[in-house]
Amino acid sequence: MKSNSDSKVHTVCVYCGASPNVADKYKDIALRTGQTIADNGLDLVYGGGRSGLMGIVADTALKAGSKVTGIIPGHIDQREIRHEELTELHVVDSMHERKAMMAELTDAFIVLPGGCGTMDEFFEILTWRQLGLHDKPILVLNEEGYWSPLVNLLEHIKSNEFMKEEDYNLVNVFTNLQDMMGYIKNVHVNKRQVMQEYI
């Protein structure tokens, strides 16, 4: 069991898409991310599904030796088939409970290619960080330029003064997995728990 005084990252939360119909280059990003998580002795928390990039990250990390914890709301089984072969699977009552539990169990957040759900998770966890509800790093993997439009949007928001410079700097963008993992291995994190009473 990790101590709150331990400032190293031990568990990462991955946000990514569940669609199985995406290009192979995005599936490769998921596969390499799962393998890299395990190779660096990290555990994984994610949304509990078995399809798309979600399933690839989970299966790869699990097979390579990581503890993989999934959290999925019971009501979305028709859209996201739950992964029954994880180290732990939590079936919760709501999307909000899912996101809060994912945030509680992790030390850092990784954003891989995904759709509306991934963007929802990203913007919510960024907003929570802006409000001081957690102190955990937020990392966007922008391989293949997938998230370049998102990065441009954030720059646009900042340049029009709807976002402070210090809040813009809460998002760490990486163009390759190796640099992102180097950051994760060296960053010191505050293990203060998410302030659940305010979310």
For 22-44, what is each residue's pLDDT tens digit? 999 999 999 999 999 999 999 99
Per DSSP, the residues of 72-141 read EEGGGTTTS-B-TTSSEEEEES-HHHHHHHHHHH-SEEEE-S--HHHHHHHHHHHHHHHTTS----EEEE
Task: Give the pLDDT confidence of 140-191 residue by residue, as tens digits.
Answer: 999 999 999 999 999 999 999 999 999 999 999 999 999 999 999 999 887 6
Q: Measured over all CA atoms, what is the biggest interatomic distance in the chain, rounded to whole angstroms?
A: 47
Q: Determine the pLDDT at residue 142.
A: 98
- Residues forming a β-bridge with 10: none
pTM, entire model: 0.93
CATH classification number, 11-189, choose in 3.40.50.450, 3.30.300.90, 3.30.390.30, 3.30.565.10: 3.40.50.450
* Nearest partner of 106 among 191, 193, 13, judged by Cα: 13
Per-domain residue ranges of the chain: 11-189
The pLDDT of residue 198 = 66
Predicted local confidence at residue 6, as pLDDT: 67
What is the rounded CA–CA span in Å between residue 161 and residue 158? 5
At 58, is the pLDDT very low, low, confident or very high (cuts 50, 70, 90)?
A: very high
Q: How does pLDDT run across 72-113, given as a tens digit for each residue?
A: 998 886 667 789 889 999 999 999 999 999 999 999 999 999
Q: What does the pLDDT average to over 44-66? A: 96
